[in-house]
Every structure is written in structure tokens, then in C-alpha cells.
Structure 1
Amino acid sequence: MVKLCSYCKERNRTPLPECPDSECFVCRGASAKLEKMADEAAGKIPQGWKSFAVSTNVPREMMAREEAVWDYGLGRSVKDDFNRRIVAALAERTGLGYDFVKADGKVVFDFAKGEARLENADLFVYGKYKKFRSDIAQSEWTCKNCNGKGCEECDFEGVKYDSVEVIIGNAAKALYGAKDAELHSSGREDVDALNLAGRPFVLELRKPDRGKLQLKALADAVNTRESGVEITDLQYVSNGEVALVSDSHFDKAYEAEMEVEGGFAHEDAGKIMALAGSMLSQRTPHRVKHRRSDLVRKRRILGLRILGEKPPKIYVLAEAGTYIKEFISGDAGRTEPSVSGALGKKAKCIKLSVVEIRDGFLGDVLGY
């Protein structure tokens, strides 16, 4: 049974049962330690500072556990909530103002180590990335076999796949002299899916030695044929846009090439088109149920077109969070209705591309 501490229960607005702080499924007691960490941080801030910025390092494992809880209720993300509480606590203890753009320095709360420290203020770059190769992950994918040390399974690279995060991050670290870089994005696509639409992201550069450079230099460093990644619409933003982008979810359009058992007949097109407007019942797919709660989610197919018959190819516009591969295959009955069910024969997606992300409101907010 998933149980939450009082902080995480309130934050997620969920009916899940409450438990002692140290037994919390999501934070493992980190929420309760925040106030003590704020006391320690306030004592480290030197005289002369007029304002401060805040950064939180939340373990990926904690964020992954939080994703499972989102299936029971959506609230503020743990990172957003920690930031909000930290800012209030430091302002109260120091009398300083919070300024995410022109802060005199930054206070880093590292919840992996349970400590707070001072650092140079980070830089934040908003943009959109496209992914043209089907062997690139979005986030850095450390090889589980060797835990990043390098082995035969990963060709002694330490990672399972190239990643958008590493390709953009390495270029940015070299340009800015930054110690580290982290990619915050609005959702993600599968490793084998192409992204031709441009997915919004914010790149966080930690401890940069250099100030704000011309962003064209970053685009030129990333946008090479060899990288398989392209970044556009770059602009400097505040750390407040991290939550804005990472917590936003958008309807998306896809082009999916299929393989149909026994071949695709002309009359099959009409059977597929009958699914337009359908409300899907999608039980957590087999391929992700090891990291997601086993629930049934309702998602609607907003638009559908036949793009070709040889090979069969369809255009799908769907609500945020729809599993497109499973909409096609049916996932052994876990998604209904499905293309396979409509055709009465097995169908599977063999090539998937994101061709549109309906993220227009970000442009209104960020002014691009």
C-alpha cells in the first residue's frame, strides 16, 4: 500500500493514507527535514547579499516515485513545492529578497545528500528540441549493468544510449564553463520515436564560469548532422520556467507507420477511421508497468487520418498521455478500442514520429 507523509499527501491532494515522515513512499522524510536545512542555509549566507536564488537537487528516484502517485491525484510537483517552501523559509530567516534573475548568489538544497550549500547563480535556457534519430533517449541513460563505469554491454561508454540531455548539455557546459547541466522538458518520447515537432525544454546550467553568451553559439554547437538533435527558439529565462515547462502537458499529433498481419486491405482504412473521436481505456502498458501504477486511464483520439496504405501509415491527434503504440496494437487487450481490434487482426507500430505539440500557451507566457 502506497502511503504518504502529511506534506506529500497535502501537496498531491490524494486520498492515499498518511504515514510517519520517514516511511513516505515519495520523499522518504525529505519534506520534514526542509526546515532544518533552511536554518543551516540561512546561517551560511554572507553579509552583503541583497537577494538570493534557490536551486533544489531532487533525486531522480524520488521524482519517479512521484510519477506513480500522480496516477492517484495531481498536485504540485515535489520540486516545485520544495522551491516554494525554501524561498519562504529563507526570506523569513534572513530578511533578504528572492530574485531569480539578478540574485547575488544561489542557495542549493541537495536532497540526495541532505545538505544546503552556496553556489554561483545558475543560468536557464528555454528552447525546443527535435530528435531525428531513433537511438537517442531524452535523459541520460546510465548503463545498469556497470552503473556508468563502462562494460562490454554498453561498449565501455557507461551509458545505454546517446541522449538529448547529454548532447545539448555537453555543448553548453563547454561554452559556459558550467560544472553540470540538466534538461527539464515537457514530457518525453520513447527512445525509438522521432520528434519532428520540437519539444519545449529548459536547460539548467549549474555553476557557469561565464555570463550570458549569444545563444546562437549554443545552437551552432548542437545543430550538427552528427548529433541528430536540433534546438530552436532559444532564450534566457528564470528558474521559475522550469516548473512551468516540466509540469505542462500538451495534446500531440503523431505519424505512425504500421505492420498489419496478413496485409492492409483497402477496406481496412474505413475500419480505422471509425475510431476517430473514440475514448480509449488504456491500462498501464506491459512495457512500462514496472515503473507506473497499474491503472486504467481514459484518453481521447481527437483526430485520425489515413496517410498511406503501402505501407499503412496513419496520422493520430491524441490527448496528452495517450500511449500511441498501444492504441495500434491493443497491448493484448489492455487498450480498448484499438486499431488491431477494429481490423480483427494484429497490427503494430514500427515507426513513430511526433509531428505536432500543441504548446501555444507557452509562447504567450514566454513571449516568443
Structure 2
Amino acid sequence: MDVLSPARDLLATGPLCDNCLGRPFAERSFGLGNAERGRGLRVALALADDDDFSAGDPANCWVCEGATARFDEWAERAVAAVEGIEFATYQVGTRVPPLAEENGLLLREDAGLDPEAGEPLRKEFNREVGKRFGQLTGAEVEFGRPDVQFLLDLEADRVEATVNSAFVYGRYRKLERDIPQTEWPCSDCRGSGRDGSDPCPTCDGTGYLYPESVQQLTAPVVEDVMDGVDSVFHGAGREDVDALMLGTGRPFVIEVEEPRRRDVDVERLEADINAFADGKVEVEGLRRCTHAMVERVKGLDASKRYRAAVEFGDEVTAEGLAEALEALDGAVVEQYTPNRVDHRRAAKTRVRTVHDVAGELEDPRHATVEVHGEGGLYIKELISGDEGRTEPSLAGLLGVDAVVTALDVLEVEGEDEPFEDEEFFLD
């Protein structure tokens, strides 16, 4: 391609800065900036035509109207916009005035070039300001989900900075019953704590049906340490309010919105959370993680192991219990939406597998049963039968009523792979 002829045609449209002259040739000669391309074309034309060399002046450029002379200024303004905020990655975007975009198209049209030739002013701004921002801060550009993002609004002469959330992964154990995983606002007062001018009698004016949750005993500490504005708790499923979460704990991610700090000591953070939770909840294995870990925690197929204290409506023999448990071991169970959750779950039949089951009779009316089941298996209904909604069930196989009087979750692990994959961690 002869670049000098189209360069002459571009310069014939009016005064151009080096950037705007070089931008239609942005795909030529990798490693050069558009300003270098434009200046090189001017030099080559001056030599070819034996003319005096005339430098391009951004202030007189009819296309960008001086915008390309402000790369350094925009980078410095972006740095100022995130002063006092910790970040390691960034991304820059630019909103170019419609007139400048139109000028770029007219420039190519008047010179007889493809309207898509080279690159748009927006792309050059992103790269040049981004490069300077990285040099000023030592941060690395990230095109996925960076720590901070900038929108340079050239027409409004404004830098819009967005601080993306930070994420901490871990596992929690819930050591007391009647603590939900997340905040449970009072349904009668809708979380206001008021009944007209009086305190809500259902929640005693607290706004919550339960005064504490795993979220409330953990997330505020992370939010405070990271100096964020809010937080969100993401769990790998959830145990019943009256169930304990023991053993290896349940995976979770705490998302901190608009954090000013990211590089935190997770071991100290773990100790701070455990002290704050005061024996009601414990966390371990805290690690900073990526946003993708939220989807992994919420979406990875998981199996769970439970221990249930079971009470029978009539006397059961050890032999009868053993036979019933043997029938459940490896069974494929059909469960229609349980009565206790049909107000918040879709009414349908779910098919789940009991991986293994074992139990021991304590006396003719009481037993301890351990179940390792596929994620989504309702354990209380596997024991009780839920009035025939679960088949098979322990109660149905024994021919007596059976109810879970206490339930403990002992293990939550991925069906095919562990939750803890190094790809998702930052430390």
C-alpha cells in the first residue's frame, strides 16, 4: 500500500495533528504510536516533495480539536480520582464527542479511505491514557474485571471512576442453632421495625426475625477492614436455620463494594471475624479471590454429608433400621417440593441420589443417621417421607413415623472437583 498518496489527501482536508494524521494507518508498522506515524508521514512527504517540513499543531487540528495533546492531563486526573484507594489492575474507556467521531469519518471520506481504516479516536485515547496511567501508578491493565475503571468523558470534561468490588473466600462453621445464613428481615414490618408509631411486636422493633445471621457475624468485619461502603454474602447453598454447620465448613464469598483497601492480611482478618462472632460462627481458609469465585461457589455441583438425630413414632429394632438404611444406600430419591418450603420454592419433583447412608439405634425410639447425598437432597424429608412427597424415605421403609429432631451438616464438597481451585485466588 502506498501510504504517501493517501497521506497527502488527508493533509489536503485541513490542518491535522500528528495523531489524527497517523490514526488511519494505525494497523501499519507495529510498535509505533499514531503520533510517530503521523510525524513520519510528514517527514517522508517533505523529503519526497522537497518541501519545507511543517509540524502538526494539535491546537489547530480540525478533527480532534486539540484533544490528543491532553493524554498526560487525563492520566493525571484519573490518578487523582482514585487517590487513597488500593488497586492493582485498571481499565480505561473514553466517551468521544459526537462531533469528533463525525470528523474522523469525514476525514477518511474526504481522503477516499475506508471509513474503518486504522482505529477510532476512542481506541487511541483508551490506549494512550491507559499507558500513562499504568506508568504513573505501577498498576496493570485488565480487560476483564479490573479493580478500578475509568470513563473519560471528553465532551463533559469529566473523569468517572468506578471502584469494583473485592472478594474474600473462606469456609464457615455455624456452632449455634437458630442462626440463618443471611439477614432475615421481619415479614410483618418488612424490616422497618415499626407497626405504625409503635415497635413491631413480631420482631420487637429490630426489623429482623432473627437478631443475628452468619452474614451479620462475618461480613461487617471484612467490610470494615477493606473500608468498603457495603457488603454481600454469597454461600454455597445454605443449611436450615435450626441446623448446625460443622466439620469442614461451608464455602462462602464475601463481596465488599467500593473498597479502599484490598491487600489485607487474611490471617488477621480471620482472627478478627472469629473474635467478633464470639463462638457462634467460625471461619477458616480465608483468601482473596476473583469475582468468578462467586459464580463457582453458587453454581458448582456439591455433595453434602449430614448427621441427623431421629425420633420414631413407634419402636424400631436394630435389624429393621439396618435393612431400611441398606435400602436407602445408593437410592435414587424423588422429592416433590416439601411442605415446609413450598411457599418459596417452585412446585416440582426433584430427583436426587443418596450416595451412602449409615446409622445407629440408640434406643427403640431414637437413632443417629448419617447421610451423604447429592446437593439439593432434602434430608428431613428423606427421613420423614413428608406425607408421601419423598419416595423412598426412612419412615416409609420402616413403616413408622420418623422426624429429625436435630440436624448437623458435616461436609460440603464439590461433586467432581474441589471448590478451592488456585485459578480463582489472588494470593
TM-score, length-normalised on structure 1?
Answer: 0.68
- Give the C-alpha shift of residue 99 in structure 1: 4.4
In the other structure, the counterpart of 1:125 is 168
Residues in 2 aligned to 1:106 and 1:184: alpha-carbon distance in whole angstroms: 27
Matched, 1:190 2:236: no
TM superposition shift of 1:208: 2.0
Look up the match of 2:254. 203
Deviation at 1:101, TM superposition (A): 6.6
Q: Do the aligned partners of residues 171 and 345 (structure 1) sit closer, same or farther apart at CA in structure 2, a change above 3 Å counting? A: same
1:280 alignment partner in structure 2: 333
Question: In structure 2, which of residues 394, 413, 420 is the aligned counterpart of residue 339 of structure 1?
Answer: 394
Partner residue of 1:21?
none
CA distance in 2, matches of 1:326, 1:188: 16
Summarize the Cα distance change of 1:335–1:99 in structure 2 as closer, same or farther, 3 Å threshold. same
Question: After alignment, is 200-209 or 332-341 more displaced?
Answer: 200-209
State the match for 1:246 in structure 2: 298
Residue 303 of structure 1 is matched in structure 2 by 356
Unaligned runs of 5+ in 2: 1-72, 79-88, 93-121, 131-140, 152-159, 194-199
Q: Indicate the percent of aligned positions where both proteins have the same amino acid.
A: 33
Contact 1:106 1:121 in 2 (8 A): no
Contact 2:331 2:353 survives alignment (8 Å): yes
SS in 1 for 2:328: coil
Give the alignment of 1:312-327 within 5 angstroms: 312-327=367-382
Amino acid of the structure 2 residue aligned with 1:283: Y
- Aligned with residue 134 of structure 1, among 159, 167, 177: 177
Aligned pair partner of 1:233 in 285, 309, 315: 285
- Following superposition, the deviation at residue 317 of structure 1 comes to 0.8
Tell me, yes or no, if structure 1 residue 271 matches structure 2 residue 326: no
Which protein is bigger by CA-based radius of gyration?
2
Secondary structure in 2 aligned to 1:223? helix
State the SS of the aligned residue for 2:335.
strand
Equivalence for 2:113? none
- Asked whether 1:352 is paired with 2:407, we answer yes
Q: Aligned equivalents of 2:347 and 2:310: distance in 1?
A: 26
Give the AA of the match of 2:251.
Answer: P
**Partner Cα separation in structure 1 for residue 319 and residue 356 of structure 2:** 19
Q: Which moved more, 1:340-349 or 1:285-294?
A: 285-294
Q: State the 1:200 CA deviation.
A: 0.9
Q: Is residue 2:199 matched to residue 1:156? A: no
Cα pair 2:385 2:394 within 8 Å, conserved: yes
C-alpha distance in 2 between matches for 1:106 and 1:281? 51
Partner of residue 260, structure 1: 312
CA distance in 2, matches of 1:329, 1:219: 39
1:145 aligns with 2:188: yes
Point out where structure 1 has 5 or more consecutive residues left out of the alignment. Answer: 1-45, 54-89, 108-116
Alignment of 1:163-174 (within 5 A): 163-174=213-224
How far the C-alpha of 1:294 sits from its partner, in A, is 1.2
Q: How many residues align?
A: 277
Q: Is contact 1:266-1:309 (8 Å) kept?
A: no
RMSD: 2.8
Q: Shift of the alpha carbon at 1:367?
A: 7.7
TM-aligned CA deviation for residue 94 of structure 1: 6.7
CA change 1:211–1:304 in 2 (3 A) is closer
